Amino acid sequence: MVMAKFDKMAVLSKMAATGMVPVFYHQDAEIAKKVVKACYDGGVRAFEFTNRGDFAHEVFAEVMKFAWKECPELALGVGTVVDPATASLYIQLGACFVVGPLFNPDVAKACNRRLIPYSPGCGTVSEIGFAQEAGCDLTKVFPGDVYGPRFVKDLMAPLPWSKIMVTGGVEPTQENLSAWIKAGAFCIGMGSKLFPKEVVKAGNWQAITDKCKEALAYIAEAKKA
């Protein structure tokens, strides 16, 4: 039985400290490894590999073994999980956290049993409340660009204890990232905008490292303000 390399407290503190979780999938394990390492070199300490293609769990297993050696401080988690069987599969492969586009209480049970953070996608204040009752410390507002920073700001007023991760359509610009942080977001999940297809295709890993450094600096600046 594989244990997650980092426990719930460590994972959440990594997300809090950096404020950003890259979200990525590629069917080629070698390319996925390069992207993970490029993000790690850019200061990323929590990374979400999405369960989005055939044999995605096999790719994840390869990337996990690589990250243990080459990215010792990285908490590698899995995204796009909608059912408990899939959550359990990835937990067996060492996933440090589980993220989903929707809230499934059965996934919460599977994760809670092993003290793995589960961040479900929620779109209403009630859904966030139900997820918190089920033990989800970090709830995800998804799709972020549909709801906007105003939604996060307004829900933090009656639920100030909430830890919100925003994912979906987030951009690595100073304006966009600052707006989310100032609204009260705990951390930001970022996908395609951080890894433009042409950059990945060209194998320009340095560009990804630089983009991560830039985004993390914007987040740190917004948190200070």
Q: How many CB atoms lie within 10 A of CB 175?
A: 8
Axis-axis angle for helices 56-70, 29-41 (nearest 10): 40
pLDDT of residue 163: 98
Token output for 87: 């959550």
pLDDT of residue 144: 94
Query: Is the peptide bond between 143 and the residue preceding it cis, with omega within 30 degrees of 0?
Result: yes
Domains present along the chain, CATH in parentheses: 8-224 (3.20.20.70)
**Residues near 164 by beta carbon (within 8 Å), at least 6 away in sequence:** 128, 138, 139, 140, 141, 152, 155, 156, 184, 185, 186
Amino acid, single-letter form, for residue 56: A
Cα separation, 124 vs 151, in Å, equals 9
Cα separation, 36 vs 145, in Å, equals 25
Cα separation, 173 vs 219, in Å, equals 10
- Which residues on neighbouring strands pair with residue 166, listed in sequence order? 141, 188
pLDDT one digit per residue (tens) for the chain, 225 residues: 788 999 999 999 999 999 999 999 999 999 999 999 999 999 999 999 999 999 999 999 999 999 999 999 999 999 999 999 999 999 999 999 999 999 999 999 999 999 999 999 999 999 999 999 999 999 999 999 999 999 999 999 999 999 999 999 999 999 999 999 999 999 999 998 999 999 999 999 999 999 999 999 999 999 998
- What is the edge-to-edge ordering of all strands in the sheet holding 75-79? 118-119, 98-99, 75-79, 46-50, 20-24, 187-190, 163-167, 138-141, 121-122
pLDDT of residue 63: 98
Rg (CA), the chain: 16
Q: How many CB atoms lie within 10 A of CB 172?
A: 19
pLDDT of residue 61: 98
Token output for 159: 């639920």
The secondary element (H helix, E strand) that includes residue 46 is strand 46-50
Residue 105 CB-density burial (10 A; 0-12 exposed, 13-18 middle, 19+ buried): middle
Residue 62 CB-density burial (10 A; 0-12 exposed, 13-18 middle, 19+ buried): middle
